[in-house]
């Protein structure tokens, strides 16, 4: 039986502005992107997002960040409503991703004399973004900019939160700390501030997990640097509500989450050169895949890192990933790259990636050097010459997971052996059905044999599925994602079970040789399944080693009303 569900007709995305005074001489311009449902390729949004920009007016004036280009008309009108743009003295760039710097070229057009302030590497990136000469002021951690009337701005370097060029800005007059992406959340509503902690907690955590957790050590370093400043009264983030009411608690959470991650036994060092493009996308996808296994990834930009930091990280890491730098930067990064290669030793494993193709440092010599030093290669080198697609992302994500699993294999075996014999057998008497979860995102698809599935609600119809954190399908089961649950039939499941239990190579097609047809939500339905359910992920509860994924069921069909569901009988409860 097919249960039809009404669908809402598409409407134009709502883009509105909210301009609010947040302190003396200080205004926030919030660009409210109510309907944005995805951020980057991997990050589904439930509650839209905001891009926050700030205007500080002392004797001189400074604008901190701008907005996304899609807000061009409304943002510039709102800004002009506050100040003559041509009269602004400084434009501070917290970092150069287009959601905050998408209108820098427009501001330069309106005010060619504005002085753009940022970290060295941020201004290098900006050169490529605006393609025109402009006045610039490079700032380092601890340096100050005096706007007059007490508004002395102090800069704090916060590399890798979440890009190498990030700086925080602290206004000594208002004691507001401007942090761009850090402490942000993708949450769009009318409240300027974090009034309801419960309401924002989930989005705050998901955001931390996606953007900050892969650089947990960098979060702790930034917190340490900030701790030498006077206590902040507000944290003015680049996304979502500003933080005032729950400042201590929300900062404490960053510290606790990051400390927890930094204690991880295994770390992977990722050395590459950020290009605000393909290399970053590949690095992010690899990081996401590794993080699924509980291994911490520490990212270092070969161009801007201190040599001593490169050495320390390369030594402490259990795994090393190198993104080969472009030929044009060969001399700049040579010393850092040589340090990594010299320090790398046989107890480590490695992986390589290269974006951009022809121009890059040839990958084979690096591969040979590491192999000759006795390092084991965790995944075949990834070389991408085209734009990054969902399939590329999947390849990197799964390569990262393979590397992480190699590092955690011994611990997983140890854990399996440590359960008490009786408990183990008693738990094994829990039974489940046999199911194949299938999902499709663009040209990327995935599938997994599942058994820990249960109906969880009647209205709306809903189910839970426990998914191990290091499963490839996990990337397809984030909030808002759609998938199909194929229910296998008793007496007709062995070949499907065998097929989907195989270990697939990163990016390998899971459906080769399997008959499928597309569901309404785009995921493959297995033709031989007894029935199928089209589902959408609503929420996820985090366990130690599994996500409990709650999804609503939108549609379904059974091929044989008399067919029985295949049952999974186990003898022990400490593995599948
Ligand atoms: Fe919100 Fe990294 O841009």
Q: Is the CB of 106 under 6 A from ligand 1?
A: no
Residue of the nearest CA to atom 3 in ligand 1?
Answer: 97
Task: Indicate whether residue 240 lines ligand 1 (CB < 6 A).
Answer: no
pLDDT at position 329 is 82
pTM above 0.75, yes or no: no
Which residues fall within 8 angstroms of residue 312, CB to CB, at 6 or more apart?
none
Q: Is 173 in the pocket of ligand 1 (CB under 6 A)?
A: no
What's the 547 CA to ligand 1 centre distance in angstroms? 26
The band of 12, judged by pLDDT with boundaries at 50, 70 and 90, is low
Distance between Cα 317 and ligand 1 center (Å):
27
Q: Residue 176: beta bridge partners?
A: 171, 234
CA–CA distance, 551 with 535 (Å, rounded to integer): 6
- CA 66 to CA 29: how far, in whole Å? 9
263 pLDDT tier (thresholds 50, 70, 90): confident
- List C-alpha distances in Å: 384 to 22, 328, 353: 46, 18, 8
Q: Is the CB of 478 under 6 A from ligand 1?
A: no
Q: Please state, rounded to an integer, the average pLDDT across all residues of the chain.
A: 90
What confidence category does residue 446 fall into, taking pLDDT thresholds of 50, 70 and 90?
Answer: very high
Report whether residue 162 contacts ligand 1, using a CB cutoff of 6 Å.
yes
pLDDT at 414 over 80: no
Distance 507 CA to ligand 1 centre (A): 27
Q: Assess whether the C-beta atom of 68 lies below 6 angstroms from ligand 1.
A: no
Tell me the three state secondary structure of residue 274.
coil
Q: Return the ligand 1 atom nearest residue 98 CA.
A: 3
- State whether the beta carbon of 100 lies less than 6 angstroms from ligand 1: yes
Q: Which is it for strands 90-92 and 61-64: parallel, antiparallel or unpaired?
A: parallel
How far, in Å, from the CA of 181 to the mean position of ligand 1? 5
The position carrying tokens 């390589």 is: 352
Q: Whose CA is nearest to atom 1 of ligand 1?
A: 181
Whether the predicted pLDDT of 394 surpasses 90: yes
Contact 238 CB / ligand 1 (< 6 Å): yes
Count other Cβ atoms within 10 Å, centred on residue 277.
13
State whether the beta carbon of 275 lies less than 6 angstroms from ligand 1: no
Q: Which two tokens stand for residue 327?
A: 């030929």
Q: How many CA atoms lie within 13 A of 179 on its CB side?
A: 29
Q: Which atom of ligand 1 is nearest to the CA of 95?
A: 2
561 burial level (CB within 10 Å; 0-12, 13-18, 19+): exposed
**For position 306, what pLDDT does the model report?**
75
Domains observed in the chain: 15-261 (3.60.15.10), 264-414 (3.40.50.360), 422-568 (2.30.110.10)
Q: In the structure, what pLDDT confidence band is assigned to residue 314 with cuts at 50, 70 and 90?
A: very high
- Supply the residue whose CA is at minimum distance from atom 2 of ligand 1: 97
276 has a pLDDT exceeding 90: no
Question: How many Å apart are CA 8 and CA 37, to the nearest integer?
Answer: 15
Q: Is the CB of 280 under 6 A from ligand 1?
A: no
Residue 9 pLDDT > 80: no
Backbone angles phi, psi at 166, to 5 degrees: -70, 135
d(C-alpha 446, C-alpha 282), whole Å: 19
User: Rounded to an integer, what distance in angstroms lies between the CA atom of residue 240 and that of residue 188?
Assistant: 6
- Look at the block and give the residue holding tokens 């900030």: 226
d(C-alpha 137, C-alpha 286), whole Å:
34
Identity of the highest mean pLDDT range in 124-128, 136-140, 214-218: 136-140
d(CA 30, CA 240): 9
Instruction: For the chain, give the percent of residues with pLDDT over 70.
Output: 96
What is the arithmetic mean of pLDDT over 275-298?
A: 87
502/265 Cα distance (integer angstroms): 29
pLDDT, one tens digit per residue, over 52-108 is 999 999 999 999 999 999 999 999 999 999 999 999 999 999 999 889 999 999 999
**Atom number, ligand 1, closest to the C-alpha of residue 211:** 2
């Amino acid at each position: 039986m097919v249960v039809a569900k009404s669908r809402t007709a598409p409407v134009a995305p709502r883009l509105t502005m909210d301009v609010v005074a947040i302190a003396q001489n200080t205004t926030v311009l919030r660009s409210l992107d109510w309907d944005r449902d995805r951020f980057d390729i991997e990050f589904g949004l439930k509650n839209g997002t905001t891009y926050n920009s700030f205007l500080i007016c002392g004797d001189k004036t400074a604008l901190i960040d701008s907005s996304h280009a899609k807000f061009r008309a409304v943002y510039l009108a709102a800004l002009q409503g506050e100040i003559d743009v041509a009269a602004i003295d400084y434009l501070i760039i917290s970092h150069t991703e287009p959601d905050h710097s998408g209108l820098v070229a427009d501001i330069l057009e309106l005010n060619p004399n504005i002085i753009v302030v940022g970290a060295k590497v941020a201004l290098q990136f900006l050169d490529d973004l605006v393609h025109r000469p402009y006045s610039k002021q490079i700032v380092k951690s601890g340096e100050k900019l005096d706007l007059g009337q007490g508004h002395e701005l102090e800069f704090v370097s916060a590399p890798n939160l979440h890009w190498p060029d990030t700086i925080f800005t602290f206004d000594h007059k208002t004691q507001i700390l401007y942090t761009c992406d850090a402490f942000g959340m993708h949450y769009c509503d009318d409240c300027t501030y974090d009034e309801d902690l419960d309401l924002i907690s989930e989005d705050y955590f998901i955001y931390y997990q996606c953007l900050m957790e892969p650089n947990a050590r960098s979060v702790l370093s930034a917190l340490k640097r900030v701790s030498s400043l006077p206590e902040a009264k507000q944290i003015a983030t680049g996304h979502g509500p500003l933080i005032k009411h729950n400042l201590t608690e929300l900062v404490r959470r960053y510290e606790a989450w990051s400390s927890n991650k930094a204690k991880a036994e295994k770390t992977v060092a990722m050395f590459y050169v950020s290009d605000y493009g393909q290399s970053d996308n590949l690095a992010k996808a690899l990081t996401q895949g590794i993080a699924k296994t509980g291994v911490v990834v520490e990212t270092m930009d070969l161009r801007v890192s201190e040599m001593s930091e490169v050495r320390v990280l390369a030594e402490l890491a259990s795994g090393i990933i190198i993104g080969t730098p472009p030929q044009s930067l060969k001399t700049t990064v040579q010393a850092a790259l040589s340090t990594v290669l010299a320090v790398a030793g046989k107890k480590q494993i490695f992986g390589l990636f290269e974006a951009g193709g022809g121009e890059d440092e040839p990958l084979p010599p690096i591969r040979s050097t590491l192999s000759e030093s006795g390092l084991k290669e965790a995944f075949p080198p990834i070389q991408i010459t085209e734009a990054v697609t969902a399939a590329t992302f999947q390849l990197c994500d799964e390569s990262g997971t393979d590397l992480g699993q190699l590092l955690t294999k011994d611990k997983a075996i140890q854990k399996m052996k440590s359960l008490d014999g009786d408990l183990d057998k008693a738990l094994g008497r829990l039974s489940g059905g046999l199911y194949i979860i299938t999902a499709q995102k663009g040209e990327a698809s995935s599938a997994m044999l599942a058994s820990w599935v249960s109906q969880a609600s009647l209205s709306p119809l809903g189910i839970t599925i426990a998914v191990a954190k290091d499963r490839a399908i996990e990337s397809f089961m984030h909030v808002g994602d759609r998938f199909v649950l194929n229910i296998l039939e008793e007496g007709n499941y062995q070949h499907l079970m065998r097929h989907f239990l195989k270990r697939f190579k990163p990016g390998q097609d899971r459906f080769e040789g399997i008959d499928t047809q597309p569901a309404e939500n785009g995921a493959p339905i297995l033709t031989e399944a007894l029935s199928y359910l089209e589902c959408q992920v609503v929420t996820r509860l985090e366990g130690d080693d599994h996500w409990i994924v709650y999804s609503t069921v939108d549609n379904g069909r059974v091929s044989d009303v008399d067919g029985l569901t295949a049952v999974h009988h186990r003898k022990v409860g400490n593995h599948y």
